[in-house]
A and B are shown apart, each in its own frame.
Chain A
Amino acid sequence: DAGVTQTPRHEVAEKGQTIILKCEPVSGHNDLFWYRQTKIQGLELLSYFRSKSLMEDGGAFKDRFKAEMLNSSFSTLKIQPTEPKDSAVYLCASSLYGGYTGQLYFGEGSKLTVL
């Protein structure tokens, strides 16, 4: 089975640009998560979807970050406009039984650099 696929793997943007990161979860998984990873903060939750419904979003990320589940097998994370402090690795994960008890399967991440 294919794991979680994230594209692009690397993205360089100028300050103020709009970027879109993409994620394909493991086939059949109902839950999808977006996290931001930095060395200082570790993993911070951006959004959590169950069967395409938004369950949670990270309060600190609401204004410029928008995640969507376009269908059960595809999600996007839009950052608009980008700022240098957004430079980080963005991780997508999916789960069959939910993050409460089930294992999360992570993609390799999209590394964003904002100049």
Chain B
Amino acid sequence: AQSVTQPDARVTVSEGASLQLRCKYSYSGTPYLFWYVQYPRQGLQLLLKYYSGDPVVQGVNGFEAEFIKSNSSFHLRKASVHWSDSAVYFCAVSANNNNAPRFGAGTKLSVKP
């Protein structure tokens, strides 16, 4: 079965700084990978997804993620964060069309002004 580990429960960065949120997945095959974001009092929303091809995928609001198969990782990055990026970020993995995506525990991002 597939699973996801997000090793950082909380991350705090200053506005304008760069960001990396870590995600490691466990699955022996080729995974489909996602990042979702949950803003306060809102439902989860898709940021970006990786299926195949270019391992660096672009998402909304300047976010990108890189799939590194040798490391089983799919870290999320942003060059310059804004205070409005403060939210909880979830990494997810899907194995096949008959299985639901599995999510990590989430990383709470706080952006200091």
Contacts and interface: CB of A to CB of B under 8 A. Distances in A.
Contact of B44 (A45, A98, A99, A106): A106
A104 B32 contact: no
A100 B44 contact: no
Interface in B79-113: 90, 92, 94-106
A43 B90 contact: yes
B43 A108 contact: yes
Q: Size class of A's contact patch?
A: 20 to 34
Nearest to A45: B100
Nearest to B104: A42
Contacts, number: 65
A98 B105 contact: no
A104 B36 CA distance: 9
A108 B41 contact: yes
Contacts of B100: 33, 45, 48, 55-56, 99
Interface in A99-115: 99-101, 103-109
Contact of B43 (A39, A55, A106): A106
A105 B45 CA distance: 7
B99 A99 contact: yes
Given A93-B44, A101-B94, 10 more contacts: A48-B100, A56-B100, A91-B44, A99-B100, A100-B97, A104-B36, A105-B43, A106-B43, A107-B43, A108-B42
B27 interface: no
Contacts of A45: 100, 102
A56 to B, nearest CB: 5
Contacts of A105: 43
B11 interface: no
Contacts of A98: 97
B99 A100 contact: yes
A56 B99 contact: yes
Contacts of A104: 36, 44, 46, 101
9 contacts: A42-B90, A42-B106, A43-B90, A45-B100, A56-B99, A100-B98, A100-B99, A104-B36, A104-B46
Contacts of A42: 6, 90, 103-106
A67 B67 CA distance: 34
